[in-house]
Structure 1
Amino acid sequence: MSIRMLRTLIAIADHGTFSAAADAVFVTHAAVSQQMRALEEQWQVQIFNRATRTPEFTPLGLAILEKAREVVQAYDDIVPSVIGDDGLKGEFNLGAVPTSMTGLVPLASAMLKNKYTDLHVSLYPGLSNHLINQVERNLLNAALISKPSVISKSLSWTPLAEEPMVLIASQDVEGDDAQEILRTHPFIRFSRDAVVGDIIENWLQSNNISVVDTMELISLESISSMVMANLGVSIVPDPCVVPMNGLPLRKIPLCATPPTRQLGLIQSKSSTKTRVLEEVTNALREAIDVGLFSSDTISGPH
């Protein structure tokens, strides 16, 4: 057994087939098959059910896969965990919800880059539930997400900010009663596949507010643009870091105690990238304290 074989095993799970895994790890399809048979013979277990057209993991194979991920992650972290720079160089894979990608994430990333020139943060946008899955599979080192209702015991959650939900409308929309505006204008819905979408839907239902949906979108930028075009109103998180050159939209409080989304960092409890995770968390908190993404906050001292 070798780390190379374990990487191949993981590639099969991540890419779905032996052929796709072969491309991912730069070997032939035959080499992938040989490596997997060698593992099964060495361990005297059946990792794959080959009765199906595409070999599938057996229950035992899935258990081995999870252990393989832990072993490969630990192997990759051996040097960073013991050398003097504490891993503050190389690549760090960070997932982030799209709503954070125009203010908080770029500002925090710029702060990290200014402080640690040898540390490269690779960003992967996605919805919270997808990013959680990626962290659990060790495909991401951490992810900035909206807090879900349930968090796996294998993951660690660090709260960073609470963002209240607000009603956004074009300048042509009159009045300050959010509920009345929602009942009388077309509604541009935040995708219910997102945690934020669930928060919004729950608030609407709990307040018996019926809206007329005109579209359901996942991007805060696209929602804001549709609202700017006077195609409807929407409910979105009021960002903890205001993005640069935002659209001139009206922000109207939903109520005295609006629903909020909790924004935080999620990571595996078994991660050995403790030092770099600490610095990523500090940069996010510093960016939240600044609260504005602009040319001054990027270039100024931190």
Structure 2
Amino acid sequence: MDIRQLEYFLAIVDHGGFNRAASALYVSQPALSQTVRSLERDLGTDLFRRIGKRAVLTEAGTALIEPARAAVRGMETARASVEAVQELRTGRLDIAAMPSPAVEPLTSMIRDFGRRHPGVRVCVRAAFTPQDVVDLVRTGTGELGLLTTPGPLPEKGVVSQPVGVQGLVLLTPPDGPFPAGRPVAAEELAGHRLIVVQRGTASRAYVDDLRERGVDFIVAAETEHRVSVLPLVLAGVGLAVVTDSWRATAEQAGALVLELEPNPVLRIGLISRTGPLSPAARAFLDCALTGL
């Protein structure tokens, strides 16, 4: 049994006979009859009694009307839903993102995409390291991913699109140990208390590299909650190395944002699966890349 058979059956019911139904469906009467006979064979019973040119419903045919209409309506709803998603009137897009690029450029990307396709809901899933982002995209948890990395963008199992670069900055309280407007050399962090995040991130790699180079600092706090870094800095717990995407938020909150020397360049990548993308994901990629 398929939807076409049910549509033909209902056309006969609604139009009062095979000839009128065939005309309404723009098919030949023999083709219509053959389809209905196939449906009757599938069900193991007659649906109509043929009395001359008339088609009279059997008891089984009468019982089929309501479920047939429900099935046809369900398929029509499904088709409409697919068409709506393809035209991006509705839908959902899951994006896996690290905390720093989730601040920026993802905020601007979602804003621009939302202006073009306001009916599509964007859901951002948390990922703490570049590998986390890649894993979430590969497994389909997120259709797209946004990450930063000091090295090359990932290529194995995903498609990567460069969307910009970021540097690292130092956050201090407004009355911190360094004057505003002057870059801070890495060696000057010796002896200071630092707030660090988990391994696998660019800012953690930076401070770990300082220690390997003999810069002896104190780890005042280690947190996986990136949103807690700024409050800890403002509370005087310590200083923090973060990506430049936090600059505007930190300055608005009252922290001092200082350049670092030397300052590594972090590549920002928008990644996707290697297979076909949904219309929403393709539209988001196009919007993000044309906005560069």
TM bucket, shorter chain:
0.5 to 0.7
Structure 2 counterpart of 1:182, which letter?
L
Aligned counterparts, 1:264-275, within 5 A: 264-273=269-278, 275=279
Q: Give the conservation status (yes or no) of the 8 Å contact 1:95–1:143.
A: yes
Structure 2 counterpart of 1:165, which letter?
L
Shift of 1:116: 0.7
Matched residue, 2:148? 146
Distance in 2, matches of 1:253 and 1:222, equals 21
Q: Give the conservation status (yes or no) of the 8 Å contact 1:94–1:140.
A: yes
Distance in 2, matches of 1:183 and 1:244, equals 23
Residues 1:162 and 2:162 are matched in the alignment: no
Cα offsets for 1:40-99 (capped at 9, x unmatched): xxxxxxxxxxxxxxxxxxxxxxxxxxxxxxxxxxxxxxx89x969756341111111122
Instruction: Return the index of the structure with the highest Cα Rg.
Output: 2
Distance in 1, matches of 2:286 and 2:169, equals 27
Residues 1:281 and 2:285 are matched in the alignment: yes
Q: Give the conservation status (yes or no) of the 8 Å contact 1:104–1:241.
A: no
Structure 1 counterpart of 2:145, which letter?
A
TM-score (norm 2): 0.60
Q: Give the conservation status (yes or no) of the 8 Å contact 2:190–2:215.
A: yes
What number of residue pairs does the alignment pair up? Answer: 207
Aligned counterparts, 1:239-254, within 5 A: 239=245, 242-243=248-249, 246-254=252-260
Q: Give the conservation status (yes or no) of the 8 Å contact 1:237–1:260.
A: no
Q: 3-state SS of the aligned residue for 1:254?
A: strand
Shift of 1:260: 2.6
CA RMSD after TM alignment: 3.2
The structure-2 alpha-carbon separation of the partners of 1:136 and 1:109, relative to structure 1 and needing over 3 Å to count, comes to: same
Matched residue, 2:114? 113
Distance in 1, matches of 2:246 and 2:192, equals 27
The structure-2 alpha-carbon separation of the partners of 1:233 and 1:97, relative to structure 1 and needing over 3 Å to count, comes to: same
Matched residue, 2:201? 195
Q: 3-state SS of the aligned residue for 1:101?
A: helix
Matched residue, 2:192? 185
Distance in 2, matches of 1:269 and 1:240, equals 31
Cα offsets for 1:234-254 (capped at 9, x unmatched): 111111884497322222222
Matched residue, 1:261? 266
Distance in 2, matches of 1:269 and 1:153, equals 9
Shift of 1:228: 0.9
Q: Give the conservation status (yes or no) of the 8 Å contact 2:171–2:256.
A: yes
Shift of 1:223: 0.8
Q: 3-state SS of the aligned residue for 2:231?
A: helix
The structure-2 alpha-carbon separation of the partners of 1:212 and 1:286, relative to structure 1 and needing over 3 Å to count, comes to: farther
In the alignment, structure 1 segments of 5+ residues that lack a partner are 1-78, 290-302
Cα offsets for 1:267-288 (capped at 9, x unmatched): 1111333x5334323544577x
Distance in 1, matches of 2:271 and 2:253, equals 30
Distance in 1, matches of 2:111 and 2:250, equals 14
Q: Give the conservation status (yes or no) of the 8 Å contact 1:190–1:236.
A: no
Distance in 2, matches of 1:258 and 1:226, equals 23
Matched residue, 2:5? none
Matched residue, 2:136? 134
Q: 3-state SS of the aligned residue for 1:252?
A: strand
The structure-2 alpha-carbon separation of the partners of 1:205 and 1:279, relative to structure 1 and needing over 3 Å to count, comes to: farther
Residues 1:219 and 2:219 are matched in the alignment: no
Shift of 1:158: 0.9
Structure 2 counterpart of 1:174, which letter?
P
Matched residue, 1:228? 234
